[in-house]
């Protein structure tokens, strides 16, 4: 399977993803799934500039990604799917059965959110949504860096 990681991280493309996860997984492509970024040329260019030469970066809306997940899963490029919030991953998983595991990375403090791990803050609704994903057969864990232990959903939400 060529999708090596599906990650929820509100910082989107940043050093921890590019240096830590890409190197550890031997990823060759990042697909940023975000409706707003996908629709904005300027933001797409900023994210392109933040990745090193040789690492492909693509952008997709949730609907586009849902149509392409199966294809990405069979392509030879080792791919990281990256979304910025729980709502987006729930929408994507609801439109595609090709995502079997979700890694919750950095979700920071915000309205109605409480700290679950040092790098994960969730609202009660977000926690329920992640549990719903899990009940539908998607493995949900939290892990900030590749060398850290993957924390099972029941331990943080």
Q: How far apart, in whole angstroms, are the C-alpha atoms of residue 152 and residue 134?
A: 10
Distance between CA atoms of 53 and 120, rounded to whole angstroms? Answer: 30
Domains parsed from the chain with CATH numbers: 3-155 (3.40.35.10)
Tell me what percent of the residues of the chain surpass a pLDDT of 70: 99
Angle of CA points 153, 16, 24, to nearest 5°: 80
Question: What is the C-alpha separation between 31 and 81, in angstroms, rounded?
Answer: 5
Q: List the Cα angle 58/75/151 in 5-degree steps.
A: 75
Q: E strands of the chain, at which residues?
A: 3-8, 29-33, 56-60, 79-83, 101-104, 114-117, 120-122, 139-142, 151-152
Give the pLDDT score at 1: 54
How far is the C-alpha of 29 from the C-alpha of 80, rounded, in Å? 6
Residue 144's pLDDT is: 94
Q: Are 103 and 141 in contact (CB under 8 A)?
A: yes
| Cα distance between residue 94 and residue 37, in whole Å | 20
Helix axes 124-135, 86-95, angle to 10 degrees: 20
Question: What confidence score (pLDDT) does residue 16 get?
Answer: 81
Structure confidence by residue, pLDDT tens digits, 46-82: 999 989 999 999 999 999 999 999 999 999 999 999 9
Mean pLDDT of the region 114-135: 97
Tens digits of per-residue pLDDT, 75-104? 999 999 999 999 999 999 999 999 999 999
Task: Name the pTM for this structure.
Answer: 0.95
Taking residues 125-146, report their average pLDDT. Answer: 97
Q: If pLDDT is split at 50, 70 and 90, which confidence band does 110 have?
A: confident
pLDDT digits (tens, 9 = 90+) for 1-36: 599 999 999 999 988 888 899 999 999 999 999 999
- Tell me the sheet residues that pair with 121: 115
- Given a cut of 90, whether residue 132 has pLDDT beyond it is yes
High-pLDDT (> 90) share of the chain, %: 93
């Amino acid at each position: 399977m060529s999708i090596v990681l599906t990650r929820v991280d509100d910082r989107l493309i940043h050093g921890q993803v590019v240096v830590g996860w890409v190197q550890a997984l031997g990823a060759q492509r990042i697909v940023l799934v975000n409706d707003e970024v996908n629709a904005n040329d300027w933001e797409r260019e900023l994210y392109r500039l933040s990745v090193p030469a040789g690492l492909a970066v693509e952008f997709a809306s949730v609907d586009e990604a849902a149509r392409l997940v199966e294809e990405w899963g069979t392509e030879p490029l080792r791919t990281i799917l990256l979304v910025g919030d729980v709502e987006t991953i729930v929408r994507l998983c609801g439109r595609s059965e090709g995502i079997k595991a979700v890694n919750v990375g950095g979700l920071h403090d915000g309205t109605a959110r409480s700290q679950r791990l040092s790098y994960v803050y969730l609202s009660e609704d977000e926690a329920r949504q992640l549990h719903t994903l899990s009940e539908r057969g998607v493995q949900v864990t939290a892990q900030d860096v590749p060398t850290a232990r993957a924390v099972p959903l029941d331990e943080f939400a």
